[in-house]
Each structure stands twice: as structure tokens, then as C-alpha cells.
Amino acid sequence: MFMFEKALTGGRKYWLWITSLFLLVLAGSLCYVLQLTHGLAVTGLSRDVSWGLYIAQFTFFVGVAASAVMVVLPYYLHDYQQFGRITILGELLAVTAVTMCILFIFVDLGQPTRIVNIVLHPQPKSVMFWDMIALGGYLLMNAAIAVVTLTAQREQVPAPGWIKPVIILSIPWAIGIHTVTAFLYSGLPGRSYWLTAILAPRFLASAFASGPALLILLCLALRKLSGFDAGREAIQKLAVIVTYALAINMFLILAEVFTAFYSEIPAHEEHFEYLFIGLNGDRHLVLWMWLSTLLSGVALALLLVPKWRNNIRLLVVACVCVFVSIWLDKGLGLIVGGMAPSPLGAVTRYVPTLPESAIVLGIWASGALMITVFYKITLSVWEDN
Amino acid sequence: MKITRKDFLRISGLGLLAVAGRKAVRAVAERTSERASEQTSAPFAKQVRWGMAIDLQKCRQKDGCDRCIKACHSTHNVPQFSDRAHEVKWIWKEPFKNVFPAAQTGYTREFFGNLPVLLVCNHCDDPPCQDVCPVKATWKREDGVVTIDFHRCIGCRYCMAACPYGARSFNWLDPRPAIATVNLDFPTRTKGVVEKCNFCEERLAKGLGPACAESCEEKAIVFGDLEKPDSEVRRLLRSRFAVQRQPELGTGPAVYYIV
Ligand code: SF4
Ligand code: SF4
């Protein structure tokens, strides 16, 4: 495989990390076998809450994938040179995130062996059909861009001209994948938590906050572990992007809350009540949702003040807060909150089970493995130069 | 042969005229044939549109009656799971206040709120469940029945999220051990697929009505062709006040409740 041998050299710590990730993937796979034999009953899902952690993780990582555009766009359209190196890291993060998304969809299927039916009997009226095309295309584009750019860098020649149009196309395409993903939900009648025109804008805002926050953390980790420095200015620029996106995301959430509670239309209020106050005595998500709100607030405060934002230690804290906050909101509240109360007003408690969590963790670990290998290859190419 | 400029103009002009003429002729012909077919075939080619009217008052006559539910579930090999989370159901009862949350006042809630309402799939005119299915495993037939291909369904549960009536169930585990006696005339399902009321399509094919309607001694469930003005269901809907569940969503439910 492509320069794969470069990933096979490393110290003791490197191998320890790789081995533990492999063990997590193994544990997840074993739990998946359990799910395959017993059915999705091994998860916490139910007739009322029929989508849960898997679909929520899928949604969250589509956001991470789309956020690559936040480095690609300044670099290629505005010729912002500071993002030169980070751009490849962003594209590789996108490749990893899309792969994780596909895995999350796959483990959610009740009849995974029939997945070919999506190709055999395509239904263009289904948003899922378009989402598959969008995600597949995005995966191919980013993989091609990363491989071509990296090869060119290794050979120390300029990248071939044909890749430029692909890169330009990948910019609107990135917006597209997350918009289509939002349309999966926002076009459904009778699910008032999702039935809002600002779901897609909200998805984009939260994606452009959480994705670059993750990228900052990855870059800082690389600096510590490998001595690769993305550059202070690039990191600062990313931090500014996170700040804007986070502020816009919080504004959009507030707009939703206002509309729901000032109109006092019960169907719109109920879901927010369920998430933030508790409904019919079920309050098990309340703590998490307020934690998410609190973390967003703290992060915004830390990011808004330039002195704090420029302090690397505080920036790390802020980025962790952003990532966790948006993960809670999108990777937990969004799906469960949309499904409870059900169309018949039932509030059914959803708690992920152990096997379900292990499967999710396994996919996270495979993502971590991919990103480790990708970054390792990239860094050794740069070192060789 | 030499073509002069004048010849060329004449020929191309004629060509254009010919094209325009043919278009006009075809349009007229189409319109007349349309009208002709409307006149001749109307009484025969009229589509069947199956629908149902449920008389809630008759349905409450016998307290705790569940004959229709038993009839349906045993006919269709619907598994009986005791825990609510994994429940599979095609027809069931739900309190009035949950089914018609907006159709009541604080004064009527006390009496009506807890009265049972019989629920089935609405076999919508424009079913969202059909539009979202990525593999065309669920679709509306010509006669209005919304059906599922259990062998094609990939179990993505998008249709469950899309149905605004909570009509669909998923097989979270193998349903077969949970079926008391298997009816060999109807397929059992495997784990990982979605199912719901099918308006007894298998019985309709034999010229029979749905099992639930047949089993009801009170005759609370009336099934028939909504396109036929003199069908029993149409007569009932003409004479009594009936409502659909959430008609404002534009799905066009074919199940009516006489209140
Ligand atoms: S009631 Fe639900 S399952 Fe039945 S046709 Fe309508 S949308 Fe589909
Ligand atoms: S669960 Fe089955 S029927 Fe429902 S949308 Fe998915 S493939 Fe279609």
C-alpha cells in the first residue's frame, strides 16, 4: 500500500499505542459479532427510540469530515500559505471521518448483508441515497487529493494540474455532505425537533467549530510527539475559525429555543423540555445537555479574549470544551432528543448498552488507528525532505 | 445539383412548417384520444383505493376487547415480546389523548382522554415512509396499500423515523421463538427488518376483507373501496363525522375515525 512501510517504524510508545487501539477494535468487533447473532436487541434502542448512538456518531463525524473545508478553502482559494501543511492533515482527517461514518451506518443496519440493495434498487427520492453519493464522492476526492499531493511532495515536484479542479470541487462538496446529512432529518414530518430550516446551517456551524478544534488538538499533539510544528500563526487562525463557528452555532441554538418557547407550540417545546428540563419524570439527559451548554459557554469566553486564545494551554482547554460540548449536543442530544417524545407522546429512556458502547469505541479506535498511520506517513515524507 | 439561396430558404422554411404542423396535429390528436379514453373506460378502469373507517363508539362497547388485535397478530405471525422496547405490533390501542392531542379541550380530556383508540398503519396517500426507504423495500401499491418487502429491507429504520404515526415496528431480535403458533399461510420474518399492518393484502388477493374487520363482532371496523361512491365505507363517511390522524401533515391517511 501507499508508503505504508513508513508507518511500520516507531518506538516502544508508538507500538504500545497501536496495540491498545487494535485491542479496542478487536473488542468492538467481538461485540459486533454478538449484535449480528442476537440482533440489535443488544443495544439500548427500542421501538420508540429507534436510532441512537450509532446514527448520532455518524452525524457528528460527517461534521468533522466536512470541516476540512476550513483549511482547504483558505489555502487554495485565498492562497493562505500558513495552512500549507495543515491542509493535508485536514484532508486526511476527512478521509478518516468519512470512513468512520460509513462504519457507523453499517453497524446500525439490521440486515447488513443486504447492503448491496442500495446499489441494486436505488431510490433517488430517499435522502439516504444522496447522502451515500455525497459521502462516497467526498471520500474518493479527499483520498485522491491527499495521495497526489503527498506523492508530489515526496518526489519534490509540483502536484499535477488535474488535481486542482478536484480540490476546488471538494469545497462546495464538503458543504454538501453536511447539508444532505441535515436533510436526512429536517425533511421528516412529525419530528418537530428536526423539522427546522436551520438544521443544516446549525450542522455546518457546529461542524466548523468541532472539526477545527479537533485539528488544533491533533496538531498540538503532533508537536509534542514528533516535533512537527504546524506553525503558531496557522493554529491561531484555526482558533479564530473555531471562535466564529462556535458563536454562530450558539446563536442558532438560541434562535431555536426562542422559537420553540415563545410560540409555546407544545410539539416544539416538548423536545427541548425533554432534553433540558426533563419530561414525564425522565431527566436522564438533562445533566449532559446542561454540561454541553456550560462547556460551550466556557469555550466561547476563553476563545473570545485574544490573550487567552493565544495562550496555548488555555487554547487546549477551550478546544477540548468545544469538542466535548458539540459531541454531547450532536452525538447524543440531537438524535435521542428528536425521537423522544415519540409521535404518540411516549418518553422512552434510551441508555446505550455495554456492547453498543464497545462497538462505538471500536470504531473510534479504528479512526484513531487510521489517523495515526496517515499522519505518521505524512510526517516521515516531510522529514525525508 | 446546385441549390440556390432561394431554394435553400424555401426548403428549410417548408421543413420548419412541417415540423410545426406535425406538432400541432399530434397535440390535437392526443387531446381527443384523452377525452375519448375518459369517456369510454371511466366506469371500468377506475382504480380501487382501499380504506378503513373505525367507529370509536362501537369499538368501546365491550371493555378490554382485543379480538381484532389477536386475530391480526395470529394471522400475520406477529411475535409477542413482553418488554415494551422490543415490541412488534400491527394493530393496537392507545389513549385518545395521545392519538389526537389537539382534538380536545380541558373539559373533555377527563372523559375522552383515556378512552382507547385503535391504531393501524394509515396506508397514506403520500407516505413519507416510501419516500425515505433507500432500497425501495416499502412502497404504495396501485390500490393504496403500503407494503414492505421483508426480503429486501436492510433494516436502516429510516422509515420508522419518517412515519409520523409510529406505525412501524422493528425486529430487534429473532421473532420466531416469540410466535405462539405459526400460521403457515403467511411468512414469518427474520430479525433486523421492519414490519407493520399490510391491510391484509394476502386476504385481499383472495377476495376477503381484513382479519381485524372480520373478527369484530360490533362491526366497528368497516373496510372498503374509497373510490367507489356506494361502498359501505363511503356511505359511512358521508353520513357520520370522521377525522384522520394529523391530516395537516399532508400524508393523506386512508384510515378514518368516526368520533
Ligand atoms: S402510517 Fe406511517 S407506515 Fe403507514 S403509510 Fe403512513 S407513513 Fe407509512
Ligand atoms: S428499514 Fe427497511 S423498509 Fe424501512 S427504510 Fe430501511 S430498508 Fe426501507
Rounded (to 5) percent helix, strand, coil in chain B = 40, 15, 45
Looking at the complex, report in whole angstroms how far the Cα of residue B156 sits from the nearest Cα belonging to chain A: 5
pLDDT of amino acid B47: 86
| Residue B251 CA neighbour count, 13 Å, CB half | 26
**Inter-chain residue contact B190 with A344, CB threshold 8 Å:** no
Q: Which residues, 6 or more positions from B197, have their beta carbon under 8 angstroms from its beta carbon?
A: B72, B90, B91, B120, B121, B123, B167
Looking at the complex, report in whole angstroms how far the Cα of residue A334 sits from the nearest Cα belonging to chain B: 13
> Mean per-residue pLDDT for B13-40?
48
CA nearest to A347 within chain B:
B85
| Residue A264 CA neighbour count, 13 Å, CB half | 0
Query: Per-residue pLDDT for B41 more than 70?
Result: no
Best mutation site among B158, B168, B195 for ligand 2, i.e. most ligand atoms within 8 A of its Cβ? Answer: B158
Query: Per-residue pLDDT for B43 more than 80?
Result: no
Residue-by-residue pLDDT tens, chain A, 385 positions: 567 777 777 788 999 999 999 999 999 999 999 999 999 999 999 999 999 999 999 999 999 999 999 999 998 889 888 898 899 999 999 999 999 999 999 999 999 999 999 999 999 999 999 999 999 999 999 999 999 999 998 888 998 999 999 999 999 999 999 999 999 999 999 899 999 999 999 999 999 999 999 999 999 999 998 888 888 999 999 999 999 999 999 999 999 999 999 999 988 999 999 999 999 888 999 999 999 999 999 999 999 999 999 999 999 999 999 999 999 999 899 999 999 999 999 999 999 999 999 999 999 999 999 999 999 999 988 888 7
Domains, in order of start, for chain A: 44-352 (1.20.1630.10)
Q: Is A353 an interface residue toward B (CB < 8 Å)?
A: no
> Mean per-residue pLDDT for B216-223?
95
On whether the CB atoms of residues B50 and B232 are closer than 8 A, the answer is no
Cis peptide before B175, with omega less than 30 degrees from 0? no
Compute the distance between CA of residue A364 and CA of residue B250 in angstroms, rounded to an integer: 41
Q: Is the CB of B153 under 6 A from ligand 2?
A: yes
Which residue puts its alpha carbon closest to atom 2 of ligand 2?
Answer: B153
Amino acid type, A67? S
Q: Is A346 an interface residue toward B (CB < 8 Å)?
A: yes
Residues paired with B55 in a beta bridge: B258
CATH 3.30.70.20 fits B50-258, yes or no: yes
On whether the CB atoms of residues B126 and B252 are closer than 8 A, the answer is yes
Which grid cell is B203?
386476504
pLDDT of amino acid A85: 85
Q: How distant is the alpha carbon of residue A274 from its chain centre?
A: 24
**B122 or B9, which is more confident?**
B122
Residue with cell 457528528: A60
Q: What is the dihedral of CA A347, A353, A356, A357, to 10 degrees?
A: 110
Q: Is B87 an interface residue toward A (CB < 8 Å)?
A: yes
| Residue A30 CA neighbour count, 13 Å, CB half | 7
pLDDT of amino acid B11: 53
Mean confidence (pLDDT) of chain A: 94
**Inter-chain residue contact B192 with A111, CB threshold 8 Å:** yes
Query: Per-residue pLDDT for B179 more than 90?
Result: yes
3-class SS of residue A141: helix
Domain ranges across chain B? 1-36, 50-258
**Inter-chain residue contact B191 with A110, CB threshold 8 Å:** yes
Q: Is A47 an interface residue toward B (CB < 8 Å)?
A: yes
Which residue puts its alpha carbon closest to atom 8 of ligand 2?
Answer: B133
pLDDT of amino acid B28: 47
Compute the distance between CA of residue B53 and CA of residue B212 in angstroms, rounded to an integer: 12
Compute the distance between CA of residue A127 and CA of residue B14 in angstroms, rounded to an integer: 49
C-alpha distance from residue A317 to each of A299, A325, B152 (Å): 8, 12, 48
Q: Is the CB of B167 under 6 A from ligand 1?
A: yes
Compute the distance between CA of residue B10 and CA of residue B113 in angstroms, rounded to an integer: 81
Chain B residues in contact with A185 by the CB 8 A cut-off are 161
